[in-house]
């Protein structure tokens, strides 16, 4: 039998080597994103992306970015070697037309021809044959159906809405596909005190759920091996993630998490 740990280490080494060789593309991407004002500091953005996608191999993969906003994650996937990226940005709840303009500006500068943006909801996305190796929902899972999300823990109908959405995600996922979901948990120090969060005053806590809720529901629809990581405000950079990136400390910031899962092999 092969040594799974050793195989994993070899795979990670290969990814690290690829990223090192590809750093010129990544540096160009970071410079453009910073120049367009889409991040406050390119080094902190790099740290954040490493945190989110350090174990994700984009090389030659097809990517579906659901609720991709201005395209920061879509373009990062492309510069890390993705074969094709589809970004769904509905310009509806939680988004704006400004995001579409920012996406197109990034495209004109970075000149990747393998990224397509579709201004539609995930529920309206038509895909006849393609299967996706990596599916990203960065701060968008609660916007798939906000009404159902708000009532998820109280109404059976709301849970059914999300079960149907997750079943559709499963149907679009390739064998062993990697799912990356980022959002805020509703359990937070400031939410408990009914205070505005000083790190992100716009968070509407009733529209969010703990990562375990999403992991359990996705598990019912064929996704396995949940891993939950907790982030800290990006202003603190990589050191902040090392010192503050845990459930207990995240509770006193924005309770932001990254949940990864895989599609169960048949």
pLDDT tens digits, one per residue of 58-73: 999 999 999 999 999 9
Please give the pLDDT value at position 82: 96
Residues 70/103, Cβ–Cβ less than 8 Å? yes
Helical ranges in the chain per DSSP H: 4-21, 23-35, 42-53, 72-79, 97-110, 146-150, 156-172, 189-192, 211-220, 237-244, 247-250
pTM of the predicted model over 0.85: yes
Question: Strand order in 223-230's β-sheet?
Answer: 115-118, 84-88, 62-66, 132-138, 173-184, 256-263, 223-230
Q: Indicate if the pLDDT at residue 192 is higher than 70.
A: yes
10 vs 23: CA distance, rounded Å: 20
166 vs 164: CA distance, rounded Å: 5
pLDDT tens digits, one per residue of 31-52: 999 999 998 889 889 999 999 9
For the chain, give the percent of residues with pLDDT over 70: 92
pLDDT tens digits, one per residue of 202-258: 999 999 999 999 999 999 999 999 999 999 888 887 788 888 999 999 999 999 999
142 vs 102: CA distance, rounded Å: 22
Composition of the chain by helix, strand, coil, percent to 5: 45, 20, 35
Please give the pLDDT value at position 75: 96
Measured in degrees and rounded to the nearest 5, phi and psi for residue 132 equal -110, 135
């Amino acid at each position: 039998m092969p040594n799974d740990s050793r195989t994993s280490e070899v795979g990670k080494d290969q990814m690290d080597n690829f990223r090192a060789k590809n750093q010129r593309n990544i540096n160009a991407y970071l410079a453009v994103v910073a120049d367009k004002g889409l991040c406050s500091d390119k080094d902190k953005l790099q740290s954040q992306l490493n945190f989110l996608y350090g174990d994700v191999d984009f090389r030659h993969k097809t990517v579906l970015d659901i609720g991709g906003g201005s395209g920061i994650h879509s373009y990062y996937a492309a510069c890390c070697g993705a074969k094709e990226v589809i970004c769904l940005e509905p310009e509806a709840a939680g988004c704006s037309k400004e995001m579409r303009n920012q996406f197109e500006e990034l495209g004109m500068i970075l000149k990747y021809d393998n990224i397509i943006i579709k201004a539609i909801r995930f529920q309206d996305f038509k895909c006849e044959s393609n299967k996706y190796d990596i599916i990203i929902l960065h701060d968008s899972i609660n916007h798939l159906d906000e009404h159902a999300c708000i009532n998820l823990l109280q109404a059976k109908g709301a849970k059914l809405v999300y079960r149907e959405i997750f079943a559709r995600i499963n149907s679009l996922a390739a064998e062993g596909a990697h799912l990356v979901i980022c959002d805020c948990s509703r359990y937070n120090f400031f939410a408990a005190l009914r205070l505005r969060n000083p790190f992100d005053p716009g968070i509407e806590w009733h529209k969010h759920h703990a990562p375990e809720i999403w992991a359990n529901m996705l598990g019912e629809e064929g996704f396995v091996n949940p891993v939950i990581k907790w982030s800290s405000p990006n202003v603190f950079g990589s050191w902040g993630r090392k010192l503050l990136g845990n459930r207990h400390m995240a509770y006193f910031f924005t309770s932001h998490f990254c949940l990864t899962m895989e599609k169960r092999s048949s």
